[in-house]
Amino acid sequence: MATNSESSSAADAVEITAGDISAGILQERSVLIESGNPCYNGKSIRVRSLRAREFRKITAKVHVGKEDLHGNFELAFEACRIGIITPGIAEKLDDLDPDVILQVGQDILASSEAQDKAVEDFTGAPRAS
């Protein structure tokens, strides 16, 4: 449940618009690669967060069980395939080192999914009347 200070800051915030969604789609960031392969280590790769429809598609396609290395790798691979925007890299994912795919894919997924606290806050929020 939101506290009074959280409620007042949310009440004072500017409301999101459809234009913000269009602008948000264009946001990108760089991920610094940490790899045992000196060809990749210390270099960066440009990525973007997944859109809701992309996130749904990936999580519906790839099922991950507890301590499921194959499932985790496939999830990271699919996130990289969609979220990497450095030209030419997504097309060559099959030739990239697995540690890079896991690192970058997990970063893309982490920035694309709801945080546990946000989900808890949402489920405890008062309903609109």
CATH number at residue 74: 3.30.2220
How far is CA 24 from its chain centroid?
A: 13
Q: What range does the domain containing 14 cover?
A: 4-123
Burial of 79 (0-12, 13-18, 19+ CB in 10 A): buried
pTM for the structure as a whole: 0.75
Taken in order 51, 53, 54, 56, is the CA torsion positive or negative?
positive
What tens digit of pLDDT does each residue of 5-59 get?
A: 555 677 788 999 999 988 888 889 999 999 999 999 999 999 999 999 999 999 9
Q: How many domains does the chain have?
A: 1
- pLDDT per residue as tens digits for the range 61-95: 998 888 888 999 999 999 999 999 999 999 999 99
In a domain, 128, yes or no: no
